Amino acid sequence: VASRVIDNLRKHWLKRPPSKPTLLITQGDPFEEKGIAAVTRRVSDELNISRGLIYLDPEIADYHFSNADRYKVIFEIPYSQMRHALEIAKRGRAQEITEHVMSALQIKNDLRQHQGKSLLPSYYRDFALLQEVTKAACKQISGSITLTHTSSDISQFSVSSFYHVGLDLGLINEADIAKFPD
């Protein structure tokens, strides 16, 4: 998985080179040998990129900060500060993201209910917001972003599937995404 992500990023950056030094932003995943933190460690090493950590505030998820992988992390910022950065840039932006995440969550839950499946866990809201606020704030602060996933096949019921919120709101665009080849 890490090799595919690395190759994908290299190809994307050949077409659209970063205009500033790169950082790999992680969102508090704990280290597991086959988890996303293992992938981001390898990407960081192979591409010689430091990492930044954005984590959920303790009042949202008290375990998130303490369990986060900190390999090559050079800074840590709580979610609330990322939300604040968006609000400074444009008042109401964070609320707009929240409303779109909630709408997407409702659509996903309606579909699951129609399929006879259980509703998505309540923590999906928090992690979808962390994901979308982080992306929007990083782009707002730095002026650019490269988004990549670990697969081209994103389950419609995964937290990653909420990436369309940023696209729908125009906070990121298709050119920001290092897409996997078809």
Tell me, yes or no, whether 181 lies in a domain.
no
Model pTM? 0.92
Give the H or E element holding residue 52: strand 50-55
Number of domains the chain contains: 1
Tell me, yes or no, whether 26 lies in a domain.
yes
Token output for 145: 């972003």
3-state secondary structure of 142: helix
Tell me, yes or no, whether 131 lies in a domain.
yes
Tell me, yes or no, whether 182 lies in a domain.
no
| Structural domain of 137 | 2-176
**What are the tens digits of pLDDT across the range 53-80?**
999 999 999 999 999 999 999 999 999 9
Q: Rounded to an integer, what is the distance from CA 102 to the centroid of its chain? A: 16
Tell me, yes or no, whether 107 lies in a domain.
yes
**Which residue is associated with the tokens 């730095």?**
142
| Averaged pLDDT for residues 13-32 | 92
